[in-house]
Amino acid sequence: MCGIAGLFSKATEVEDRLGAHVGAMLSQLADRGPDSAGVAFYREPAPPGSSKVSLYSPNPTEDWSATASELEAAFPGSGEPEIRASHAVIVVAAEADEAEAWLRERRPELRVMSVGTRIETFKEEGSPRAFVEQFGLAEIAATHALGHTRMATESRVTTEHSHPFSTGLDLCLVHNGSLSNHNVLRRRLRREGIEFRTDNDSEVAAGYLMWRLREGASLQEALEGCLEDLDGFYTFAVGTADGLAVLRDPIACKPAVMAETEDWVAMASEYRAIAVLPGAADAEMWEPEPGRVYVWERAKV
Amino acid sequence: MPVGERAAPVGERALGGEIEIDLSEVTLRELNQRLHAVADDGPRRWRVLNPGGQHAVAVGIDAPIEVTVEGHVGYYCAGMNKGATVRIRGNCGVGVAENIMSGAVIVEGSASQSAAASGRGGLVVIEGDASARCGISIKGVDIVVKGSVGHMSGFMAQKGRLVVLGDAGDALGDSLYEARLYVRGEVAGLGADCVEKEMLDEHRTEVARLLEQAGAGSVDASEFRRYGSARRLYNFEIDQAGIY
Amino acid sequence: MAGGGNPDVNGASGLRESALFDRRTIHEIHRMAREGIYDIRGFGAKRRVPHFDDLLFLGASVSRYPLEGYRERCDTDVVLGTRFARRPLHLEIPITIAGMSFGALSAPAKEALGRGASAAGTSTTTGDGGMTPEERGHSKTLIYQLLPSRYGMNPDDLRRADAIEIVIGQGAKPGGGGILLGQKISDRVAEMRDLPKGVDQRSACRHPDWTGPDDLEIKIGELREITDWEKPIFVKIGATRTYFDVALAVKAGADVIVLDGMEGGTAATQEVFIEHVGIPILAALPQAVASLQELGLHREVQLVVSGGIRSGADAAKALALGADAVSIGVAAIVALGDNSPALAEEYARIGTAPGFYDDWHEGRDPAGISTQDDELAARFDAELGGRRLANYLQAMTLEAQTLARACGKSHVHNLEPEDLVALTVEAAAMARVPLAGTDWIPGAESQS
């Protein structure tokens, strides 16, 4: 059980302050999700042929520059690590699967939170307000983002169990609700080659999307597949390189509020998380209908 | 300040017979406690500023006062209201006026899920739309929605009336008992044991009166269709097992 | 079970009963074939499950000294609701009366529960029909339930109550709603519940205006605001995924957790629910305590457990495992006189016998307890019933004190898990106490 939020900017002033806005949203969702918090920001794209990797280390004195140097040696042209609390974002001069393979072999103790061209993912145990501070969200600019605050249901409170779960390149998912057939699904998806690190139901939803996309479904089709194959209660928000998607299950007990102004589109579990956004009082507001996929994407150049 | 009159607490101002309380300056608890403590000869009109989407605003009032909330509220605004008239000049979250006993709650914007849930009396008016489960489990309240209502509205509704000027979502009136549902627009689908029933003069009169109370007296009551319980779930019979 | 005492089916005649398709099962299959619906009944789980009987106390010895009975104090008081409420409940004994509705029970039966509990210095709880004036009048301490149905719910009763209990589920049917059949929907019940008279009541299994602990937190906030933060908020759950459920209820803001094992009774639900859903209280209790300890809130958020509590021994063992109090339902009904041999003839007339009667849903109770029939209810003497309940509660308390003193405790709350051992491997694993005579707790390494 949790709070989820999504913000998609339509104006540069909003982009510049996106991190601050998302931080304010997360603080409003702290009551319903006190155990951990996470965000995925979509920012400057990595150059063609490179990929952006978000890494987490459980070691508080992690030597990120050593890792970065080794990466530079293996993949010349790789960037400096951008460090935020227990995480670091590194642009690796290699395609995603190469970068991941190297990390898995040479730095297995580091957790890959996400890989892609634009996505940067941070998640941590502890209060959402502390998270916003520690990770310096106020300085972050981005075109769109997803956020999550967690009240753990059937699985443990650890950094790995926090959302967003990354489902593939530039793809991530946040979930409010509780699935009821995730164990069966997890076993099925494992047989299809999808890997899972936790017993968390939301990770299964993320894995399911990744599987469908891998098999050629569009994001719309994959989300519609959720309605068929996932059982339980859910409001999902999904992030892609180009935008956001929202889906509620057909019973729709878990809340979801959407709002739009000239400058942004936002989604959250409670209105008060939207109330902190500029111009919220006059925003157009509605609730997503159950069983219907909503997608917002910026036009591709 | 005249002798004997206490200074208004921070965040509260008295203006021409009306008390204004600013939720960006006082706590929710202080607001609700003030509203619970209104004396019989106390101020009748109250205005709440900057609700900022907070939950449980103006809950549990038991006094014939008027409260106007300037802005959007979160869950359960005016919950368990008794005797007061609460006007929300914005949208409201889940469960507005839940379990209302009497009095009136008017939402000028739209309402989220479970509006007027288990309401037992009084009137709830939603000028915009109400989302899923509007009128769920109601036990005597009257609800008038000028826009549309979402799916599972009137679910297990026992007593009371729901009047919808717009459309109704799927599974309308599922498992309902004796509540009366009136819809003017499209009904996406009927729930278990809910059927369309004939509109007679008594029903048109009933709808007209509710529309009048809700400030929509110019709408024609005969444009509504009536829905109610088929009463096949009232006592279990093996041949009805398919409905379950 | 080989024959149940009837010699004709025990070998000598050559007849052999099946363990799977025993007479009871055959009877039930015939009934299903006739009626086409599940069986509905009252009472709790009747099958044998690991329970407190499988635990024993380690009494005084050379290393542990007992207290003198009667002369040396063994206190029994408990305070429930210290976490956030301005007015927690102070009870004289750690045994409360569980939620049972007026509707399920007759008015005089509810009155008797109030009288008996008040005499014993403890609380009663309303049920799925709301609060009656008689119950509030006769109960010194009354807990008011907020259920998915919301029958009779109103803010005046909320304010009149001493505590509020949000019911998420109960042990007999975790995930099920209330059932009251048409024959028990009398005029008065119908009016209180806003139902047509004589219909079968269908109840929702989820609350109408919240689902999930994140939204429960907001609901609890509303209830506190309505009652000016005075009353303790209890959250009642049926025992299933207890370790996580308790953590969530605590995070949502509960002052007290009420945990009802699968043994817990009901006035009416499907037999399949009673017997096949939920876990024994013996297994759930240690999970709940572990969860509270991990949150650093054991004893700060109090734990009340129920589900087959029958004696002071059961109560003492529950306290030793970490509960702050126990709650009784079926036992209280029995104490009032349910299933009495004195009614043998009447039971025979409705197709049952003393010790077997569980069709509480039918409303034909000759004792006048689980009925709405005025004539039958009139047979039940509320004052006498109250005295019987008070006696029973007193006897239970004396039993618990006897055991506690034998373990050297001056307060029943000082009982601890180390005072217990188990007779079976299952009980040892579930209760997380060693098998008697050994150090072995099965599964101890892998526990949460």
Of B52, B110, B131, nearest to A272 by CB-CB distance is B52
Does the structure show a pLDDT above 60 at B6?
Answer: no
| Residue C138 confidence (pLDDT) | 96
Known catalytic residue: A226?
no
Contact residues on chain A for B74, CB-CB shorter than 8 A: 270-272
Mean pLDDT on A108-120: 94
Does the structure show a pLDDT above 50 at B3?
Answer: no
| Residue C99 confidence (pLDDT) | 97
Mean pLDDT on B101-130: 98
| Residue C68 confidence (pLDDT) | 84
For residue B227, give every residue at least 6 positions away whose Cβ sits within 8 Å of its Cβ, in sequence order, or none: B154, B172, B173, B180, B181, B182, B183, B187, B190, B194, B195, B196, B197
Question: Considering only A32-36, B46-50, B201-205, C63-67, which range has the smallest mean pLDDT?
Answer: C63-67
Instruction: List, as own/partner pairs, every contact residues B65-72 make where C-beta atoms lie below 8 angstroms and the sequence separation is at least 24, other chains included.
Output: B65/B35, B65/B38, B67/B35, B71/A281, B72/A271, B72/A275, B72/A281, B72/A285, B72/B109
By the 8 A CB rule, do A39 and A26 touch? yes
Does the structure show a pLDDT above 90 at A186?
Answer: yes
pLDDT tens per residue across span B26-63: 999 999 999 999 988 889 999 999 999 999 999 999 99
pLDDT tens per residue across span C354-383: 999 999 999 999 999 999 999 999 999 999
Does the structure show a pLDDT above 60 at C73?
Answer: yes
Query: Do residue B158 and residue C153 have CB atoms under 8 angstroms apart?
Result: no
CA distance B14 to chain C (A): 24
| Residue C106 confidence (pLDDT) | 95
Window 255-294 of A, Cβ < 8 Å to B: 255, 257, 270-275, 281, 285-287, 289-290
| Residue C438 confidence (pLDDT) | 96
How far is residue C299 from each of residues B187, C296, C325, measured CA to CA in Å?
A: 53, 9, 11
Determine the Cα–Cα distance for residues A223 and A242; give it in Å rounded to an integer.
Answer: 16
Determine the Cα–Cα distance for residues B222 and B219; give it in Å rounded to an integer.
Answer: 9
% of chain C residues with pLDDT over 90: 86
Confidence band of C70 (pLDDT split at 50, 70, 90): confident
The mean predicted confidence, pLDDT, of chain C is 93
- φ and ψ of C41, to 5 deg: -155, 175
**Between C186 and C71, residue with greater pLDDT:** C186
By the 8 A CB rule, do B226 and B182 touch? yes
| Residue C6 confidence (pLDDT) | 56
Of B59, B139, B156, nearest to C225 by CB-CB distance is B59
- Optimal mutation site among B30, B32, B73, B99, interface C, most CBs of chain C within 10 A: B99
Mean pLDDT on B81-99: 97
| Residue C1 confidence (pLDDT) | 43
Of B74, B113, B131, nearest to A272 by CB-CB distance is B74
| Residue B237 confidence (pLDDT) | 67
Does the structure show a pLDDT above 50 at C141?
Answer: yes
Mean pLDDT on C44-65: 93
- φ and ψ of A114, to 5 deg: -165, 160
pLDDT tens per residue across span A36-88: 999 999 999 999 999 999 999 999 899 999 999 999 999 999 999 999 999 99
Question: Considering only B81-95, B222-236, C62-76, C247-261, which range has the smallest mean pLDDT?
Answer: C62-76
Mean pLDDT on A101-111: 93
% of chain A residues with pLDDT over 90: 86
Query: Do residue A33 and residue C214 have CB atoms under 8 angstroms apart?
Result: yes
B178, B182, B185, B186: CA torsion to nearest 10: 20
pLDDT tens per residue across span C288-329: 999 999 999 999 999 999 999 999 999 999 999 999 999 999
- Neighbouring subunits of C (3+ Cβ pairs under 8 A): A, B
Q: Does residue A45 belong to the interface with chain B, where contact is any CB pair within 8 Å?
A: no
By the 8 A CB rule, do B39 and B66 touch? no
Does the structure show a pLDDT above 60 at C193?
Answer: yes
| Residue B5 confidence (pLDDT) | 47
Query: Do residue A151 and residue C215 have CB atoms under 8 angstroms apart?
Result: no
Contact residues on chain A for B150, CB-CB shorter than 8 A: 287, 289
Mean pLDDT on A79-100: 94
pLDDT tens per residue across span A227-268: 999 999 999 999 999 999 999 999 998 999 999 999 999 999
How many other C-beta atoms lie within 10 A of the C-beta of residue C423?
14
pLDDT tens per residue across span C175-191: 887 778 888 889 999 99
- Optimal mutation site among B113, B155, B174, interface A, most CBs of chain A within 10 A: B113
Contact residues on chain C for B36, CB-CB shorter than 8 A: 228
| Residue B12 confidence (pLDDT) | 78
Determine the Cα–Cα distance for residues B135 and C94; give it in Å rounded to an integer.
Answer: 41
The mean predicted confidence, pLDDT, of chain B is 93
Structure tokens at A122: 């941070």
Tell which residue, C123, C127, C128, C115, has the closest CA to residue C80: C123
Contact residues on chain B for C193, CB-CB shorter than 8 A: 158
| Residue C12 confidence (pLDDT) | 78
Mean pLDDT on A179-190: 94
By C-alpha distance, the chain C residue nearest A254 is C211
Confidence band of A124 (pLDDT split at 50, 70, 90): very high
CA distance B116 to chain A (A): 16
Determine the Cα–Cα distance for residues C127 and A152; give it in Å rounded to an integer.
Answer: 30
Which DSSP string do the residues of A149-196 spell out, in sequence order? EE---SS--SSTTSSPEEEETTEEEEEEEEESSHHHHHHHHHHTT---
Could you give the residue ranges of the DSSP H alpha helices within chain A? 12-16, 18-28, 64-74, 96-106, 128-134, 182-191, 201-214, 219-229, 271-275
| Residue C84 confidence (pLDDT) | 96
Determine the Cα–Cα distance for residues C202 and C413; give it in Å rounded to an integer.
Answer: 41
Q: C24 burial class (0-12, 13-18, 19+ CB within 10 angstroms)?
A: exposed
Does the structure show a pLDDT above 60 at C4?
Answer: no
| Residue C203 confidence (pLDDT) | 81
Determine the Cα–Cα distance for residues C305 and C315; give it in Å rounded to an integer.
Answer: 9
Of A252, A272, A289, nearest to B54 by CB-CB distance is A272
| Residue B234 confidence (pLDDT) | 86
Does the structure show a pLDDT above 60 at B244?
Answer: no
Contacts A–C by Cβ distance under 8 A: 42
Determine the Cα–Cα distance for residues C137 and C114; give it in Å rounded to an integer.
Answer: 8
CA distance B205 to chain A (A): 33
Q: Could you tell me if residue B158 is left (phi over 0), alpha (psi between -120 and 50 degrees) or otherwise beta?
A: alpha
Determine the Cα–Cα distance for residues C164 and C99; give it in Å rounded to an integer.
Answer: 11
pLDDT tens per residue across span B132-184: 999 999 999 999 999 999 999 999 999 999 999 999 999 999 999 999 999 99
Mean pLDDT on C155-181: 92
pLDDT tens per residue across span C16-53: 999 999 999 999 999 999 999 999 999 999 999 999 99
Mean pLDDT on C404-422: 95
CA distance C241 to chain A (A): 8
The answer to whether ipTM exceeds 0.90 is yes
Does the structure show a pLDDT above 80 at B198?
Answer: yes
- Optimal mutation site among C207, C211, C214, interface A, most CBs of chain A within 10 A: C214
Query: Do residue B74 and residue A287 have CB atoms under 8 angstroms apart?
Result: no
| Residue A4 confidence (pLDDT) | 96
pLDDT tens per residue across span A134-159: 999 999 999 999 999 998 766 666 77
Question: Considering only A34-48, A188-202, B18-32, B121-135, which range has the smallest mean pLDDT?
Answer: A188-202
Contact residues on chain C for B236, CB-CB shorter than 8 A: 37, 200
CA distance B221 to chain C (A): 27
Confidence band of B4 (pLDDT split at 50, 70, 90): very low
Instruction: Map A198-233 to HEC letters.
Output: CCCHHHHHHHHHHHHHHCCCCHHHHHHHHHHHCCEE
% of chain B residues with pLDDT over 90: 86
